[in-house]
Structure 1
Amino acid sequence: MSAVSDFRLTWLWRHAFVNPQIDITTAEQEFFRERYLAMREKAGQLVAQIVAAMPGMTVHDLSHLDALWETASLVSEGALTISPAEAFVFGASVLLHDSAMSLAAYPNGLEDLRETVAWKDTVTALLGGDDHDPESVNNPSPIIVNRAVPEVLRQLHAQQAEKLATQGWPSVNGDTLYLIDDADVRFFYGETIGLIAHSHWWSVARVEQELSEDLGALAGKTKSKIDRVKLACLLRIADALHLDQRRAPRFLRAISHPKGISALHWSFQERLAAPHIEHEAVVFTAGAPFDIDDADAWWLAYDTISAVNRELQDVDLLMQNRAKGLFFRARRVKGAGSPESLARTIHTRGWRPVDTQLKVSDIPKVVETLGGAKLYGDDPTVVIRELIQNSTDAIQARRRYQAGRRDTWGNIVVSLIEKTDGHWLTVEDNGIGMSELVLTGPLIDFGTSFWRSSLAAQEFPGLIAKGMNAIGRYGIGFFSVFMIGSLVKVISRRFDLGEAAARVLEFRDGTVSRPILAQAIRGQSPVDGGTRIEILLKADPRTKGGILFNSKSGENILTLKQLIASIAPNLDVSIEVEEGGESFPAVSSGDWLDLPDADLLSRLNPFGMSNRHRHGTSISAIRPILDETGKPLGRAFIQPSSFFGADGGWVTIGGLRASRMSNIQGLLVGETLTASRDSALPTLSKEQLAAWATEQAKIIAAARSDELHKARCAEVVLECGGDIGELPIACQGPSDWLSVREIRERFQDTSEVVITFDGEFSYEEDTDDVHPRDFKSSFEPVSNIWVIPKHSGSVLTVGQTQWPRALAPDFSWQRSNLAQLIRIVISEAWSENYEVDDEDVEVGTVNGTPIIRNVTVFRRNDESAGSESSFEE
């Protein structure tokens, strides 16, 4: 039996176009029937193009569209009436609902698609989503184009379907061709047909909201109105129910070779029989069982059928609320929601489906564990860091999305206010703001990042293509607020909506109780749009456990300004603080590049500035680090960490501090490695780091600082891949510090070198027959002993990664760069013709008492070399 006779035999077709109806003439039935068939012929040619653009998809050709008359009849027969005009609108909507899944749905094909915001967002995401060349977005490679086309067609197909009923295609002879030939019918019904076709991707709530008004009759052709909600619900249910083997012919699968998730769809649909109804429940059955190798396909069938069940239930509830007495024959799907029940009609073989999906029974406990102290540690200031990060992302988004905003626009205000019920911390921004959908969705969906969700593209189309690069990536930062307070209020309003759209989400007992959503009262939301988060602090901010308490020393209390500046030292968004009734600027957008050297160091280490005099001339060594385009990658100088202890520099992420460095003061721009954002690696390349380190070597060599300090700096320079130039690296005798060049010259004329690689000699109780005090005051090394400073040049260790050594993984790194360099110099000077021994020798005296140490002795084998020994006096 042909496809044509199949759909013409369905109850819905015959009821509308064949069987007599009261107040309906045969001429009216013929009028709408013939116009549908004419449109169907053209639509068939359009959907035939889908397979070329969407390879691997189950069947979306004319046979699928015809089958929807059958599935629509299944749920509507005897339950509702439908006029010829409604049948035409329904059938036309069916023809269009998937027709835009091909480039042919766009008059200019790919050229039209490339002009859409969705295309630019998708290509940007496929290119990596962060930093990208605009040319690569405008002219992507064929590989990117081939990946983008099906994705964008899928995203836009419902939206584009709305246009197809009235859209024209230019013909070769200059005429304009339409899917609906009759101009009057196209003009009158075109918009409604398009909306109903589009609606199959809407929520049921939106269907009720946008299609609730009936369309009146087309004068002179019919007296029947169009119940748009009824037809939209009939389309979405009919489409959802068409899952049988006609969508996945086995031979077509054999020659088309679908992959991935598409292959699973084919696998389960090729087994399914046409659904039937029993006791108001749709029943799906399978002709062949699912073996254990087909388990994934069975579970996809289960998820899909469960989704059909939700559609039926949502539509049934809508029908009840409309009070028109219209209901479909089916209200649920048999077996949906229970794998064991569904397996009774869709059989398995050799295995049994049991609902063993991972569950979270104690959600508050998981949030507390993964979003609080267990992830972030006991530092309460990380909460402020996370909130500033969220505000920064919101401001970055508004800068890009709203035309006319400069790169320095936007402001964050952090306030600390004491009220009768305690201390309140408030973080407010004038960023892009949140709609109710975002506020009650991604914000409280633990582990879901809004900026990386499909909702972001729906709420703010084009934002990704405009270069939005959010700091937040894991969707857990907001939940850190419950580390410092259980009473939390989130007040937000999208910048482009009125004050009536502002909402308040209030958590009265942390994650234990359900949050309360309410409309913000007048004046409660940020004036210019954006978000404000208010937290009633558990602890006094200036006592132990408080946000201003210095847990390191327990002696100093930070000001709010010091705290915020140290948390966000190089943020590109300005931050103000309000404390004690006064307002202060804490950070200005990009000011870290122009701050005086000492002020930058004070910002980074607010408790270290009492030791400012220790920095000496080294502060003048601070230099900016720029990439080839002039983009700042850091501002820092080398300072061996033994001088400052905890006052090392910072690696920052998006302007927020993350990892503490050793041996480098200042800051380096980095990228996050963990969800807690307390671990980061700098972004600068091996070459950029080496160039900066080489410049540092020249500055330090010319500075007035002691030679041991310079030698330790040389260790760090080598660690960073730089050229140490004239920096001293070893000391011969009491105070003769030499550079590599000088050492090489001295080694040329000697045959023996005695070296300690353990740094300066110190008292050893088990071997030294002197008093420790005498050793410290009176030790005199022999004149020709070589001392190599022992200092770790390591800058940063994150997990198993050592930076910057990770930039050169193929290099043979040693524990001491200076020791390795000395060995290389000896090898080059003596042409690798020498022997090495560890020996106990006299390395000095204390008031005439010899001091013995185990050292390394290098002896040259070449008899023609100079006879002088470096150990002889």
Structure 2
Amino acid sequence: MVLSFERVGNTALWNNTLGVKSGQFNEKREELRASYMNFREKTAHLVSKISGTLPGLTQHDVSHLDALWEVADLICGDSYPFNPIEAYVFGGAILLHDSALCFEAYDGGVEEVRSTAIWKDTLASVLDSVAYDEAVQISDFAALRYLHAHQAESLTEKSWLDPESKSPLFLIENSFFRKHLGRLIGQIAASHHWSIEEVSNKLPLQVNALPGFPRDWRIDPIKIACMLRCADAAHIDNERAPDFLHALIKRRGVSFTHWKAQNKLASVDVDQSDSTGSTLIFTSTHRFLENESEAWWVAYDAVCMVEKEIRASNALLETRSQQALFQVKRVKGVESPELMSKYIQTEGWSPCMAEVYVGNIENLVRTLGGEKLYGESCDKFEVMVRELIQNARDSIQARKELEKDFKGKILISLEKSSTGYCLCIEDDGVGMSKRVLIGPLLDFGTSFWTSTLVHSEFPGLRSSKFKAVGQFGIGFYSVFMGAEKVVVASRPWNGGSSDVWQLNFNRGLSLRPLLKNTKPDDFKTDISTQVKLDLKPEILVNHEEVEVKRNVAGAENLKINAADFISSLCAALDVSVFFKVGNCDYTEIHRNILLQDDYQCWLDRISYAKYQSTYVSNYISNNVERLRPIVEDGLWHGLAAISTSSHVEQSFLNVRTVGNLCSSVHGRSGEDFIGYVNYLPKSARREGLKFSASPQAIESWAKEQIEILHEKGITPLEKCQLAYSLCYFDIDPIDVANVVVCRNNDFEILSFEELALLSVEEGVAFVKASYMDHVDAYSSIKSMEGKALFRPIRNSNFLSLKMLDGKPENDRSVLGCLFRKIIQLGYKPEVRIESEIGKSMFGMNDALIVTSKTN
């Protein structure tokens, strides 16, 4: 492979250090120069593989590596303090910094990269949105981008076997340089992906000259790392995105936009209008058209990043040595898009700072994360506690995936304070590092579990069985609806007390909470996160009792103690919860639902049986043995029994959960089922409208319920209630349920077959509501002469009378079942409307009459 070295050889950085010259220490220079040239030739072969592994990237071949010498030369200036060993280390770091962006840089090749947690995590996160082959490519890119900087540290120590001699081949052939400089070169190469603070803290301040070399050839690793990061940031031009190669390789999406951005840029230069030579300037060779606006903004952002890197590097270098400061101090035009468009030009449009922004973000968070989201009449205490329990649960479940046999617990305490009540919720889950605490936690609308930070904080979690309940990233902000002061203290679960950081919101919601690296006095050694809320006076009047609303006019609300209230919120939680008031000891108020061994006690508690009539506790005693889990792929989506009683309104016998937490403890009934059923969230408000289990899993559970009911001995009246409950779960009731009708002022309980036969003889009538295609459950009409009048037991989707193309829209409704049974018996159903047969509380009623004729 013939490589042109001319562009490196023409730089002052090379000529003043490793270039051929007469004078003292020429042999040492030649030794370093020869080693570097061999190092470069080998690396050129390695980086040539990058385009095959990641064809979407801009150029990362040896031309890019050589160009970094030119860019660094421009930034540093002609007389920059630089010695031959520093030049060797700098050049080596350039060679290595992107070399691990190909599979050949890893001992295990493709298999090694694809076995990493980052690859598996990425694949798991994108598989739902793209085809498998594309997901693999995305995962390859993400994994190599994530791994390559770290892998660069060890590349000088890695060997490849010569296929003929079987002897090991190293990138640095000279064993002396490899031993004494290889690790440092790798570390500096890796540093181009570090923050500037990490550069300052991780790299040594000075490395002395190698034995046998001049003493003043000492190495300044931080200076070299700053040179590399600035040169790499500033190498953005059409050399890295040539037209012909772009035409050969099909690119799309983000890759295409980045390619387009660089394709129109000329090489970076020093602004000639600045006599000090301290300003870089970027210009375009072609104007960016309107349909290329996204590419223009990519270019602008990249140039702004160059400015940021140069300023940060100079600031760091200034703290160490004025002599090491770069000649270039700034980039022209970064002050605004309008100014930059003079140099990186556009046509047909003008860039400006017309960004979407929020003028009053505190008001936005307060609005979208508070009462406007959950409703002005919401139970604030319920919402706050539920959202914090959810966060704690997710943290614990994440740790269960990372630590075998970990169980986890949530501790909740309530105590009187000088201003009212203080609520404290603690957990021993994965906890939060400082960057999570001040990052995703405060990023309104961004859930940590869906952020890219998960990859680095908890590698392997995305590809594990862990599924977070939190999805929207706004639950935490609900606490400000009812808290005057909020303190969040946390540490990573495997960290120590010195890793505890706390955020203090001392006056409610604030965009600038206080951050402290101190541990609260009551921060237990076995917990990871503690959230303390000083509740507003109106949130909790008496910490011994919480009001639960029946939501029925004239009905008396319940007064529930706080322990039972929180227990019902946790109804289906897969983590145990402990609670205490004041100085009392913690007691278990909820056991992990998967470990629950006393279903009667559990159902008594979540339905507030001890606060209600004996009917509720009696019904539980008589039916608790029918509770069965709704299971799919080993996961529970419910623990319930189909309801067969019509005396269950406002009995609190069932719980609708979202993410296994009660969507609302208020106004619950026992209609359709008792126990809990889990739903998917429609929005951040937790309205569950669709079962989390598949229809197949629901059907399997329902069939078992029907079998149990028949074994136990179901009454004809219970079969009537069963029809409503089965319809709720979209299970066909046609062959197992009954209905109530009135004929000649007498009530009868009939099967659907019997009802269908009546439609042949005399017709079946349904009292239609005046405001919708639905049976009027509140009509005062008791019977119809000469007709079998269907009598509803309760309101339900079973009562739907909606027709579509001459057929009932809902096959599971009473009308749908009647139609299908008529057809099964060989008849043809006909429908007619009889107008104004009577009045109900909502207006005048019509009757829908179903009759049958022989086909």
Identify the TM-score tier after normalising by the shorter chain.
Answer: 0.7 to 0.9
Distance 1:216 1:581, change over 3 A: same
Aligned equivalents of 2:389, 2:282: Cα separation in 1: 51
User: Per the alignment, in what secondary structure is the counterpart of residue 178 of structure 2?
Assistant: helix
Deviates more, 1:204-213 or 1:785-794: 785-794
Aligned-pair distance for 1:10?
1.2
Contact 1:48–1:62 at 8 Å: present in 2 too?
A: yes
* Structure 2 counterpart of 1:205, one-letter code: E
The CA distance in 1 between the partners of 2:38 and 2:539, in whole Å, is 75
Offset from partner CA, 1:120-165 (integer Å, 9 cap, x none):
3233334459xxxxxxxxxx96554334222211111111111111
Question: Contact 2:610–2:617 (CA<8 Å) still a contact in 1?
Answer: no
CA separation in 2, counterparts of 1:42 and 1:474? 49
Q: Structure 2 matches for 1:284-295, cutoff 5 A?
A: 284-295=282-293
Alpha-carbon distance change, 405 to 816 in structure 1, aligned in 2, over 3 angstroms: closer
Inter-partner Cα distance in structure 1 for 2:660 and 2:299: 47
Confirm or deny that 1:37 pairs with 2:42. no
Match of 2:109 in 1: 109
**Is the 2:603–2:653 Cα contact (8 Å) retained in structure 1?**
no
Q: What is the letter of the counterpart of residue 174 of structure 2?
A: D
Q: Name the structure 1 match of 2:143.
A: 152
Alignment-mate amino acid for residue 751 of structure 2: S
Say if 2:589 is the partner of 1:586.
yes
User: Among residues 777, 787, 792, which one is paired with 2:790 in the alignment?
Assistant: 787
Show the counterpart of 1:731: 741
3-state SS, counterpart of residue 640 of structure 2: strand
Instruction: Quote how far apart the aligned CAs of 1:321 are.
Output: 2.0
Cα offset for 1:669?
Answer: 2.4
Q: What is the CA–CA distance in structure 1 between the aligned matches of 2:186 and 2:599, rounded to whole Å?
A: 63
Counterparts of 1:78 and 1:547, CA distance in 2: 78
Task: Report what 2:227 is aligned to.
Answer: 234
8 Å CA contact 1:757, 1:787 repeated in 2: yes
Q: 2:774 maps to which residue?
A: none
| Conserved 8 A contact 2:394-2:470 | yes
Shift of 1:783: 8.8
Output aligned runs, 1:227-626, within 5 Å: 227-278=220-271, 279=274, 280-377=278-375, 378-380=378-380, 381-402=382-403, 404-406=404-406, 409-512=407-510, 514-521=512-519, 523-543=521-541, 548-552=546-550, 555-582=557-584, 583-590=586-593, 594-597=597-600, 599-600=602-603, 602-604=605-607, 609-610=612-613, 612=616, 615=619, 619-620=623-624, 622-626=626-630
Match of 1:819 in 2: 815
Deviation at 1:651, TM superposition (A): 2.9
* 1:597-656 alpha-carbon deviations (Å, 9 max, x no partner): 464154145697435168488735743134365543212233379643343633323321
Aligned in 2, Cα 1:841/1:384: closer, same or farther, shift over 3 Å? Answer: closer
Q: Which moved more, 1:786-795 or 1:116-125?
A: 786-795
State whether residues 337 and 353 of structure 2, in contact with CA within 8 Å, keep that contact through their aligned partners in structure 1: yes
- Note if 1:666 corresponds to 2:675: yes
Is residue 630–residue 698 contact of structure 2 (8 Å, CA) maintained in 1? no
What is the rounded CA distance, in whole Å, between the counterparts of 1:250 and 1:319 in structure 2? 38
Equivalence for 1:89:
89
Shift of 1:248: 0.8
Deviation sequence 1:728-750 (CA, Å, 0-9, x none):
22436313322234456x55xx9
Q: Is the 8 A contact 2:642 2:705 kept in 1?
A: yes
Residue 653, structure 1, aligned to residue 658, structure 2: yes
Residue equivalent to 1:633:
637
Larger mean CA deviation between 702-711 and 623-632 belongs to 702-711
Alignment RMSD (CA, Å): 3.5
C-alpha deviation, 1:666, in angstroms: 1.9
Letter in 1 for 2:218: K
- 8 Å CA contact retained: 2:204, 2:221: yes
Alpha-carbon distance between aligned partners in 2 of 1:427 and 1:694, rounded to the nearest angstrom:
41
Residue 757 and residue 144 in structure 1: after superposition, are their counterparts in 2 closer, same or farther (change >3 A)? same
What's the secondary structure of 1:427's corresponding residue? Answer: strand
Q: How does 1:39-54 map to 2 (within 5 A)?
A: 39-54=39-54
Deviation at 1:252, TM superposition (A): 1.0
**How far apart are the structure 1 equivalents of 2:711 and 2:3?**
92
Q: Is the 8 A contact 1:602 1:609 kept in 2?
A: no
Letter matched to residue 202 of structure 1? W
Using a 3 Å threshold, how does the CA distance of structure 1 residues 552 and 354 change in structure 2: closer, same or farther?
farther
Q: Structure 1 788/333 Cα, relative in aligned 2: closer, same or farther at 3 Å?
A: same
**Counterpart residue number, 2:842:** none
Runs (5+) with no aligned partner, structure 2: 770-777, 839-844
Q: Is the 8 A contact 1:410 1:574 kept in 2?
A: yes
- State the distance in 2 between where 1:92 and 1:679 align: 58
Distance 2:494 2:832 in 1: 77
1:688 equivalent to 2:697? Answer: yes
Deviation per residue, 1:678-728 (Å, 9 max, x gap): 335212222332333344445556778875553242133244223454432
Deviation of 1:110 (Å): 1.1
**Paired letter, 1:174:** K
Shift of 1:541: 4.5
The letter for the 2-side match of 1:825 is: K
Instruction: Tell me if structure 1 keeps the 8 A contact 2:152–2:190.
Output: yes
C-alpha separation in 1, matches of 2:73 and 2:112: 37
Going from structure 1 to structure 2, the CA distance change for 1:525 and 1:751 (only over 3 Å counts) comes to closer
8 Å Cα contact 1:451/1:473 also seen in 2: yes
Equivalent pair of 1:575/1:588 in contact (CA under 8 Å): yes
Q: Distance in 2 between matches of 1:432 and 1:751?
A: 67
Percent identity over the alignment is: 32
Hey, what does 1:765 align to over in structure 2?
Answer: none
Q: TM-score, normalised to structure 2's length? A: 0.87
Name the CA distance, whole Å, in 1 between partners of 2:25 and 2:330. Answer: 36
Change over 3 Å in CA distance of 1:657–1:112 after alignment to 2 = same
Q: Residues 669 and 17 of structure 1: is their aligned pair in 2 closer, same or farther, counting only changes over 3 Å?
A: same
What is the SS of the residue equivalent to 1:348? Answer: coil
Distance 2:427 2:185 in 1: 43
Other-structure match for 1:847 = none
Cα distance per residue 1:281-320 (max 9 Å; x no partner): 2111111111111111111111111112111121121112
Residue 185 of structure 1 corresponds to which residue in structure 2?
177
Inter-partner Cα distance in structure 1 for 2:393 and 2:846? 58
Distance 1:296 1:423 in 2: 52
Measure how far apart 1:210 and its partner are: 0.6
- Mapped to 2, the partners of 1:636 and 1:362 lie a distance apart of 46
Sort the Cα spacing of 1:385 and 1:21 in 2 relative to 1 into closer, same or farther, 3 A. Answer: farther
Contact 2:434 2:501 in 1 (8 A): yes
Which amino acid in structure 1 is aligned with residue 741 of structure 2?
Answer: C
Q: CA deviation at 1:277?
A: 2.3
Report the equivalent of 2:752.
740
* Equivalent AA in structure 2 for residue 517 of structure 1: L
Preserved contact between residue 609 and residue 617 of structure 2 (Cα < 8 Å)? no
- Please give the TM-score of this superposition, normalised by the length of structure 1: 0.85
For residue 191 of structure 2, the aligned residue among 199, 206, 210 is 199
Q: Structure 2 counterpart of 1:558, which letter?
A: I
Q: Judge which range, 639-648 or 337-346, deviates more.
A: 639-648
Letter of the structure 2 residue corresponding to residue 737 of structure 1: I
Q: Go from structure 1 to structure 2 and tell me whether the alpha carbon gap of 1:616 and 1:782 turns closer, same or farther (over 3 Å shift).
A: farther
Q: Report what 1:869 is aligned to.
A: none
In 2, Cα distance between equivalents of 1:671 and 1:723: 25
Question: What are the superposed Cα offsets for residues 240-259 of structure 1, whole Å, 9 maximum, x if unpaired?
Answer: 01001111111111111221
1:542/1:557 contact within 8 Å kept: no
